[in-house]
Amino acid sequence: MQVHVVLADVVELPVDAIVVPTNSSGLMNEGLALAARLRAGEEIEREVVQCAPIAVGAAVVTSGGGLYARHVIHVPVVEEPGLKVTIESVRRATRAALLAAAAHALNVVALPFMGRRPSELTNAETARAMVDELRAHRQPFPATIYLADPYREIAVLYEEALRAGQ
Protein backbone atom coordinates (compact mmCIF):
# COMPACT_ATOMS: atom_id res chain seq x y z
CA MET A 1 0.00 0.00 0.00
CA GLN A 2 1.27 3.44 -0.92
CA VAL A 3 0.59 6.16 1.65
CA HIS A 4 0.75 9.85 0.80
CA VAL A 5 0.28 12.79 3.14
CA VAL A 6 -1.58 15.67 1.51
CA LEU A 7 -2.59 19.12 2.71
CA ALA A 8 -6.18 19.01 1.52
CA ASP A 9 -9.77 18.87 2.62
CA VAL A 10 -10.85 15.26 2.13
CA VAL A 11 -14.17 16.28 0.52
CA GLU A 12 -12.26 17.93 -2.33
CA LEU A 13 -10.29 14.87 -3.43
CA PRO A 14 -11.10 12.89 -6.62
CA VAL A 15 -10.64 9.39 -5.20
CA ASP A 16 -12.59 6.14 -5.18
CA ALA A 17 -13.74 6.84 -1.62
CA ILE A 18 -13.38 9.27 1.22
CA VAL A 19 -13.70 8.24 4.84
CA VAL A 20 -16.01 10.28 7.05
CA PRO A 21 -15.86 9.91 10.83
CA THR A 22 -19.32 9.97 12.35
CA ASN A 23 -21.38 8.70 15.26
CA SER A 24 -23.44 5.51 15.45
CA SER A 25 -26.66 7.25 14.36
CA GLY A 26 -25.15 8.11 10.99
CA LEU A 27 -26.50 11.65 11.21
CA MET A 28 -24.17 13.97 9.37
CA ASN A 29 -24.72 17.10 11.41
CA GLU A 30 -21.24 18.14 12.59
CA GLY A 31 -17.62 18.37 11.56
CA LEU A 32 -16.41 16.62 8.44
CA ALA A 33 -19.65 14.65 8.19
CA LEU A 34 -21.60 17.90 7.87
CA ALA A 35 -19.15 19.25 5.28
CA ALA A 36 -19.51 16.04 3.25
CA ARG A 37 -23.33 16.14 3.44
CA LEU A 38 -23.46 19.78 2.38
CA ARG A 39 -21.20 19.05 -0.58
CA ALA A 40 -22.60 15.63 -1.54
CA GLY A 41 -26.29 16.18 -0.90
CA GLU A 42 -28.86 14.76 1.49
CA GLU A 43 -29.00 11.36 -0.21
CA ILE A 44 -25.77 10.12 1.38
CA GLU A 45 -27.12 10.86 4.85
CA ARG A 46 -30.35 9.02 4.01
CA GLU A 47 -28.30 6.03 2.82
CA VAL A 48 -26.19 5.81 5.98
CA VAL A 49 -29.04 6.47 8.44
CA GLN A 50 -30.90 3.47 6.99
CA CYS A 51 -28.04 1.32 8.30
CA ALA A 52 -27.98 2.84 11.81
CA PRO A 53 -27.15 2.14 14.49
CA ILE A 54 -23.60 1.52 13.35
CA ALA A 55 -21.15 0.17 15.90
CA VAL A 56 -17.76 1.72 16.46
CA GLY A 57 -15.56 -0.69 14.53
CA ALA A 58 -18.05 -1.08 11.68
CA ALA A 59 -18.38 0.90 8.46
CA VAL A 60 -21.09 1.75 5.94
CA VAL A 61 -20.27 2.52 2.30
CA THR A 62 -22.60 4.88 0.44
CA SER A 63 -22.54 6.66 -2.89
CA GLY A 64 -20.52 9.85 -3.16
CA GLY A 65 -23.45 12.00 -4.22
CA GLY A 66 -22.12 15.35 -5.44
CA LEU A 67 -18.58 14.72 -4.20
CA TYR A 68 -15.59 14.13 -6.45
CA ALA A 69 -15.25 10.78 -4.67
CA ARG A 70 -17.41 7.92 -5.96
CA HIS A 71 -18.13 6.60 -2.47
CA VAL A 72 -18.17 7.61 1.18
CA ILE A 73 -17.05 5.22 3.91
CA HIS A 74 -18.83 6.22 7.11
CA VAL A 75 -17.04 5.08 10.29
CA PRO A 76 -18.30 5.86 13.77
CA VAL A 77 -15.64 7.06 16.17
CA VAL A 78 -18.16 7.54 19.00
CA GLU A 79 -21.47 5.90 19.86
CA GLU A 80 -23.26 9.19 20.54
CA PRO A 81 -22.54 12.86 19.81
CA GLY A 82 -20.56 14.47 22.61
CA LEU A 83 -18.70 11.34 23.72
CA LYS A 84 -14.92 11.47 23.70
CA VAL A 85 -12.82 9.73 21.09
CA THR A 86 -10.51 7.07 22.52
CA ILE A 87 -7.38 5.48 21.11
CA GLU A 88 -9.30 2.24 20.64
CA SER A 89 -12.12 3.98 18.73
CA VAL A 90 -9.55 5.64 16.43
CA ARG A 91 -7.96 2.26 15.75
CA ARG A 92 -11.29 0.50 15.22
CA ALA A 93 -12.63 3.23 12.91
CA THR A 94 -9.45 3.26 10.82
CA ARG A 95 -9.46 -0.54 10.59
CA ALA A 96 -13.16 -0.56 9.65
CA ALA A 97 -12.53 1.97 6.87
CA LEU A 98 -9.70 -0.14 5.42
CA LEU A 99 -11.73 -3.35 5.61
CA ALA A 100 -14.71 -1.66 3.92
CA ALA A 101 -12.43 -0.38 1.14
CA ALA A 102 -11.05 -3.90 0.70
CA ALA A 103 -14.53 -5.47 0.64
CA HIS A 104 -15.66 -3.03 -2.07
CA ALA A 105 -12.36 -3.19 -4.04
CA LEU A 106 -11.81 0.55 -3.64
CA ASN A 107 -8.32 1.29 -4.89
CA VAL A 108 -7.68 4.92 -3.84
CA VAL A 109 -9.01 6.14 -0.49
CA ALA A 110 -8.66 9.47 1.30
CA LEU A 111 -8.53 9.13 5.07
CA PRO A 112 -9.03 12.21 7.26
CA PHE A 113 -7.72 12.81 10.76
CA MET A 114 -9.92 10.87 13.19
CA GLY A 115 -9.38 13.05 16.25
CA ARG A 116 -11.37 16.23 15.64
CA ARG A 117 -14.14 15.44 18.14
CA PRO A 118 -13.69 15.97 21.87
CA SER A 119 -10.83 13.70 22.78
CA GLU A 120 -8.39 13.02 25.57
CA LEU A 121 -5.82 12.00 22.95
CA THR A 122 -3.07 14.18 21.63
CA ASN A 123 -2.98 14.75 17.88
CA ALA A 124 0.30 12.79 17.78
CA GLU A 125 -1.30 9.78 19.47
CA THR A 126 -4.16 9.85 16.98
CA ALA A 127 -1.82 10.07 13.99
CA ARG A 128 0.32 7.18 15.29
CA ALA A 129 -2.73 4.99 15.90
CA MET A 130 -4.00 5.61 12.37
CA VAL A 131 -0.60 4.88 10.81
CA ASP A 132 -0.27 1.72 12.91
CA GLU A 133 -3.57 0.46 11.48
CA LEU A 134 -2.43 1.26 7.92
CA ARG A 135 0.71 -0.80 8.50
CA ALA A 136 -1.30 -3.72 9.88
CA HIS A 137 -3.64 -3.83 6.86
CA ARG A 138 -2.41 -6.61 4.55
CA GLN A 139 -5.05 -6.70 1.82
CA PRO A 140 -4.65 -5.65 -1.82
CA PHE A 141 -7.26 -2.90 -1.50
CA PRO A 142 -6.87 -0.05 -1.06
CA ALA A 143 -3.62 0.23 -2.97
CA THR A 144 -3.25 3.95 -2.26
CA ILE A 145 -4.16 5.93 0.84
CA TYR A 146 -4.13 9.69 1.08
CA LEU A 147 -3.84 10.90 4.67
CA ALA A 148 -5.58 14.20 4.05
CA ASP A 149 -5.84 17.20 6.31
CA PRO A 150 -5.94 20.93 5.60
CA TYR A 151 -3.67 21.72 8.57
CA ARG A 152 0.12 21.51 8.27
CA GLU A 153 0.43 20.50 11.96
CA ILE A 154 -1.52 17.29 11.30
CA ALA A 155 0.41 16.58 8.08
CA VAL A 156 3.69 16.85 10.02
CA LEU A 157 2.37 14.42 12.65
CA TYR A 158 1.39 11.92 9.93
CA GLU A 159 4.85 12.20 8.38
CA GLU A 160 6.54 11.69 11.76
CA ALA A 161 4.37 8.62 12.46
CA LEU A 162 5.22 7.19 9.03
CA ARG A 163 8.96 7.76 9.55
CA ALA A 164 8.87 6.26 13.05
CA GLY A 165 7.86 2.85 11.75
CA GLN A 166 10.38 2.54 8.94
Give dist(CA 139, CA 95) in Å, integer.
12
Per-residue confidence (pLDDT) for residue 23, from 0 to 100 = 85
Residue type, 147: L
Q: Residue 166's pLDDT band (boundaries 50, 70, 90)?
A: low
Domains and CATH numbers, the chain: 2-164 (3.40.220.10)
The pLDDT of 75-82, averaged and rounded, is: 83
Q: Is 151 helix (H, G, I), strand (E, B) or coil?
A: coil
Please provide the DSSP assignment of 13-61 as one string: --SSEEEEEEETT----SHHHHHHHHHH-HHHHHHHHTT-S--BTB-EE
Residues 19/10, Cβ–Cβ less than 8 Å: yes
Query: What confidence tens digit (pLDDT) does each residue in 3-30 have?
Result: 999 999 999 999 999 999 988 999 898 8
Per-residue confidence (pLDDT) for residue 135, from 0 to 100 = 96
Query: What confidence tens digit (pLDDT) does each residue in 103-133 have?
Result: 999 999 999 999 766 677 899 999 999 999 9
Query: What confidence tens digit (pLDDT) does each residue in 85-109 have?
Result: 889 999 999 999 999 999 999 999 9
Query: What's the pTM?
Result: 0.95
Please provide the DSSP assignment of 53-89 as one string: S--BTB-EEEE-TTSSSSEEEEEEEESSTTPPB-HHH
Per-residue confidence (pLDDT) for residue 44, from 0 to 100 = 95
Per-residue confidence (pLDDT) for residue 148, from 0 to 100 = 97
Q: Residue 81's pLDDT band (boundaries 50, 70, 90)?
A: confident
Virtual torsion, Cα 155, 91, 66, 63, nearest 10 deg? 150
Residues 40/133, Cβ–Cβ less than 8 Å: no
Give dist(CA 132, CA 107) in Å, integer.
20
